[in-house]
Amino acid sequence: MRMAVPHIVQYQGSKRILAPQILRYMPKRFNRMVEPFAGSAAMTIAAALESRAGAYLVNDLNGPLVRLLETVVSSPGEFLRDYAAVWEGQFSFPGGHLAHFYKIRDDFNAGDDRPANMFYLLARCVKGSVRYGKNGNFNQSPDKRRHGTSPSKLERNVKCVSALLKGSTKFSAVDYREVFDRTVSGDVVYMDPPYQGVSDARDCRYLSGVAFNEFAESLETLNRRGVDYLISYDGECGGREYGRDLPPELGCRKVMLKAGLSSQALLLGRKSVTYEALYVSKGLASAIPAVEAENAAQKSNFFPEGVSW
Chunked into runs of 10 residues, the chain (309 residues) has average pLDDT values of: 71 77 95 95 96 97 95 97 97 96 97 96 86 88 91 94 97 97 97 66 52 92 96 78 87 88 45 84 88 73 42
Residue 104 counted as domain residue = yes
Residue 278 lies in a domain: yes
pLDDT (0 to 100) of residue 291: 83
Q: What is the pTM of this model?
A: 0.87
Whether 62 is covered by a domain: the verdict is yes
Does 153 reside within a domain?
yes
The DSSP bridge pattern shows strands 240-242 and 30-35 to be unpaired
CB 227 within 8 A of CB 236: no
Residue 308 lies in a domain: no
Show Cβ contacts of residue 252 under 8 Å, excluding neighbours closer than 6 positions: 231, 246, 279, 280, 281, 282, 285
Amino acid at 95: G
Range of the structural domain that residue 225 is part of = 1-302
Q: What pLDDT is recorded for position 124?
A: 92
Q: What is the C-alpha separation between 250 and 280, in angstroms, rounded?
A: 10
Structural domain total, the chain: 1
In this predicted structure, what is the pLDDT of residue 116? 97
Model pLDDT, residue 171: 98
Q: What is the CATH number of the domain that holds 138?
A: 3.40.50.150
For residue 309, is it within any domain?
no
Residue 307 included in any domain: no
Q: According to the model, what pLDDT value does residue 27 have? A: 95
Please indicate, yes or no, if residue 290 is contained in any of the structural domains.
Answer: yes
pLDDT value at position 293? Answer: 80
Task: Report pLDDT for 75.
Answer: 98
